[in-house]
């Protein structure tokens, strides 16, 4: 593999993280609501989780390269088609398009549980292993040393993912841009002459009626 191929693979991995998706949104939300210090756990969790998914997708590709190298051409074209579908899915995913809530709706506060939450999100669905396999198929060459290619790609991938995730954690607005805040469906009318009744007064009135 040439240096140009390595850089192209690294750029693809970074683009995968920068692309709007539920994982990137989760990292950005933790950074926005817990502070940028959350990057200490969210970035390693994302790199480790996607690294595991990458390994799961790389292993069958290496087997195909070894036993049926001629099939890699067809796999490459299928991978391109799946990557296009994946990009469309990312922009239409409800988790990405969901409006931001004013309250804290994240599942946990402790850093160890934040790490576990991000990691589990990476490995609990096969879609990330599939897209990583689809992208990796564009760079594997059956005619070259498979062990060397696997070693280089496995070293480049986590570093690239960590770089992209760190940018999203330090500047969460990158991942949350275009996301609207949640608006109440029936806001109180702020018109002259509007009278608001305190909740305690209403409760006291119902108590008197009940008595």
At 63-74, the pLDDT tens digits run 999 999 899 999
Our CA angle for 115, 122, 161, nearest 5°, is 85
In a domain, residue 201? The reply is no
Residue 75 sits in which domain range? 3-186
Q: How many domains does the chain have?
A: 1
In a domain, residue 26? The reply is yes
Reported in sequence order, the residue ranges of 5-100 that DSSP labels E, i.e. its strands, are none
**pLDDT of res. 183:** 45
Per-residue 3-state assignment (H helix, E strand, C coil) for 131-146: HHHHHHCCCCCCCCCH
Q: What percent of the chain has pLDDT over 70?
A: 74
In a domain, residue 147? The reply is yes
Selected residue with higher pLDDT from 170 and 74: 74
Task: Report pLDDT digits (tens) over 45-63.
Answer: 999 999 999 999 999 999 9
In a domain, residue 194? The reply is no
In a domain, residue 193? The reply is no
In a domain, residue 198? The reply is no
Task: Report pLDDT digits (tens) over 5-17.
Answer: 889 999 999 998 8
């Amino acid at each position: 593999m040439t240096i140009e191929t390595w850089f192209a693979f690294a750029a693809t991995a970074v683009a995968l993280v920068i692309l709007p998706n539920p994982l990137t949104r989760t990292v950005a939300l933790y950074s926005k609501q817990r502070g940028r210090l959350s990057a200490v756990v969210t970035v390693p969790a994302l790199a480790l989780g996607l690294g595991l998914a990458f390994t799961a997708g790389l292993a069958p590709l290496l087997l195909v390269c070894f036993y049926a190298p001629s099939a890699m051409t067809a796999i490459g074209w299928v991978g391109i088609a799946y990557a296009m579908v994946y990009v469309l899915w990312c922009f239409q995913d409800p988790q990405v398009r969901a409006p931001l809530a004013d309250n804290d709706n994240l599942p946990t506060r402790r850093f160890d549980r934040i790490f576990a939450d991000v990691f589990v999100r990476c490995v609990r669905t096969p879609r990330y292993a599939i897209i990583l396999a689809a992208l990796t198929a564009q760079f594997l060459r059956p005619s070259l040393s498979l062990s060397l290619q696997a070693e280089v790609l496995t070293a480049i991938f986590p570093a690239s993912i960590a770089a992209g995730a760190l940018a999203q954690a330090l500047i969460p607005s990158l991942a949350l841009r275009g996301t609207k805040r949640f608006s109440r469906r029936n806001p109180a009318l702020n018109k002259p002459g509007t009278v608001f009744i305190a909740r305690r007064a209403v409760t006291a009135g119902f108590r008197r009626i009940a008595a």
